[in-house]
Amino acid sequence: MNDIDIAQAASLQPIRHIAEKLGMPESALQPFGHHKAKVDLTYLKTLEHKPDGKLILVTGITPTPAGEGKTTTTVGLTDALNRLGHNASACLREPSLGPCFGMKGGAAGGGYAQVVPMEDINLHFTGDFHAISTAHNLLSALIDNHIHWGNELEFDQRRIVWRRVMDMNDRALRQITCGLGGPNNGFPRQDGFDITVASEVMAIFCLARDLKDLEQRLGNIVVGYRRDETPITAKELKAPGPMSVLLKEALAPNLVQTLEHNPAFVHGGPFANIAHGCNSVIATRAALKLSDYVITEAGFGADLGAEKFIDIKCRSAGLNPDVAIIVATVRALKMHGGVNKEALDTKNIDAVRSGCDNLIRHIENMKQFDVPVLVAVNRFSTDSDAELELIRDIAKFHGVSAEICSHWSDGGAGTEALAQQVVDLTQTEQPLCQPLYNNNLSLWDKVHTLATRLYRADDITADQKTRDHLKMLEGAGYGHLPVCIAKTQYSFSTDPSLKGAPSGHVVPIREVHLSAGAGFVVVVCGDIMTMPGLPREPAANRIRLNEQGNIEGLF
């Protein structure tokens, strides 16, 4: 059975039953159908006095085309903790609709470790992304409208940095000229579309603590510059009010369930390169008030995802992860050990041993944050016992427990050992997790710290224009912001072909972008795509309704 068959065969519980497990009254829910609900923000406010549960971060080794399974592990561990009698919730990112019609499948887990209803979650869900797209594009329209009617704020039309967004894989919109057709249509200028998950509104949505914080952050967005290079903000366009109105309902976190009827908050989903790649702060905080254990995931490998989770999300929201779990697979470690995708089914102890250099590097990195670490080995049917045992031994040698997890085929029952480790590890008092760098450092030094301590580069470089840009941002008062590194997720270096644990490389900064509303400076080190395209044979070709009106081919 593939993922969609398993999901469609599942019997779901009414969402109010799931809410009951968390002690929530039905009146706290805004239902969307019978199996999805938004949790009222006003209700969540009444929980503020309650103590927080334990926060468990699921991160991974450096990703490979073999797949690692962070989302399935997050879901499987949630189910396993519930099986052990604990009250545990998952906190996941919402998938983007656009890519479903391109290459990749959905993002609601897989096998017997999924959140459901998976078709809804992967398509329109509760409309959050549509609300974010609309709020973003309203700001875009207000910019061009302001210029059309006289440009009182004195936008330099060559320096507008706020693009438009669409939740679609549409390469033809990456670069456009808008405002064509004469005076009635405004001033022609260069523009383009990003996919919605790349919107700064998405990042803001995920970092906002409440509606007030949301509106404040939206007002701080820098949309363009004057000829003298002074910034113009969304607030000057009176945009935060109507944008907040558009986002008000969306900001309430979404509650769904795992296949084993345990609670999952699926809310927000920013890019993990030009943004921080975590689900919403509001959902995470809600789950912490309602559960003893909250299991959440970050984007990409631990060098990017876990780092941003801690240095950006946790620092901004005052959160503290109690355990970090690094997900690995035999197959992915083999690829780090030099094996081709075609040969992954063949037992290869040497390749696994060599590939474990990548895992070890991530273990060492996570220890720099003072966060207790576990390794989850996400088992595939082709794995040999010897390969699995080797990973356990190597992890143990580095002071970390590794557990073999089979949630994909067995659901929560396959991941109870990991769950027990989590429980044991959180029984003892741990020191608070520490960000890797102090925000008082210069922007350059922040990047340098990340590059040398996490990526094990010897140095970072940038041309004069980029160095000047960093200075300009510091002069304009943005030097205190954390940095958000956009680089390839496929290597510790900026060369995606360097697998394993490279060191001694140099990280070149290509350009920097200010995300003043989200509250970070994006440092781009390589080619970053903010609007995907569709492949030659898009997944759309096989997606349809069958005779019974059910969805086919979504994954």
Q: Considering the complex, what minimum distance in angstroms separates the CB of residue 33 from a second copy? A: 5
For residue 68, say whether it is annotated as part of any ligand binding site: yes
Q: Which of 193, 300, 369, 520 is catalytic?
A: 300
Q: How far is the CB of 101 from a second copy (least distance, A)?
A: 6
Closest to 203 (Cα-Cα) out of 298, 277, 99: 277
Choice among 70, 163, 164, 285 that is catalytic: 70
Is 471 marked active-site? no
Token representation of residue 281: 């702060």
69 is in an annotated binding site: yes
Question: Which of 32, 408, 492, 520 is flagged as catalytic?
Answer: 408
Question: What are the DSSP calls for 426-446, one per residue?
Answer: HHS--PPP--SS-TTS-HHHH
Shortest distance (Å) from residue 522 CB to a second copy:
20
- What is the sign of the dihedral through the CA atoms of 420, 425, 426 and 432? negative
CB of 8 to a second copy, least distance (A): 14
Phi-psi region of 360 (alpha: psi -120 to 50; beta: other; left: phi over 0): alpha
Q: Give the angle 364-369-372 at the CA atoms, nearest 5°.
A: 75
Residue 516 assigned as binding residue: no
Does 240 carry a binding-site annotation?
A: no
Write down the least CB distance from residue 180 to a second copy, Å: 4
- C-alpha closest to that of 379 among 409, 353, 359: 409
Residue with the two structure tokens 């299991």: 295
Containing 109, the helix (H) or strand (E) segment is strand 109-110
- Residues near 319 by beta carbon (within 8 Å), at least 6 away in sequence: 55, 281, 284, 285, 288, 313
272 is catalytic: yes
β-strands 323-328, 373-378 pairing:
parallel
289 in active site = no
93 is catalytic: yes
Catalytic residue (choose from 72, 73, 74, 494) = 72
141 vs 506 by CB, closer to a second copy: 141
70 marked as binding residue = yes
Residues in the chain: 555
Min dist. Cβ of residue 234 to a second copy (A): 12
Q: How many CB atoms lie within 10 A of CB 180?
A: 11
Q: What is the amino acid identity at position 161?
A: V
300 catalytic residue (yes or no): yes
Closer residue to a second copy (CB): 4 or 319 = 4
The one catalytic residue in 380, 492, 520, 555 is 380
Determine if residue 347 is labeled as part of a ligand binding site. Answer: no
Our answer to whether residue 104 is catalytic in this structure is yes
Give CA–CA dist 539/258, Å, rounded. 25
Specify whether the backbone of 6 is left (phi greater than 0), alpha (psi in -120 to 50) or beta: alpha
For helices 211-220 and 240-247, give the axis angle rounded to 10 degrees: 140
Tokens at residue 464, please? Answer: 């004069």
Is 482 annotated as contributing to ligand binding?
no
Nearer to a second copy, 124 or 467 (CB): 124
| Choice between 31 and 105, CB closer to a second copy | 31
Output 46 or 409, the one with its CB closest to a second copy. 46
Our CB check for a second copy shows the closer of 184 and 464 to be 184
State the catalytic residue, choosing from 272, 419, 457, 486. Answer: 272
Catalytic residue ranges: 70, 72, 93, 104, 272, 300, 380, 408
- Give the annotated binding-site residues: 64-71
- Give the annotated binding-site residues for ATP: 64-71
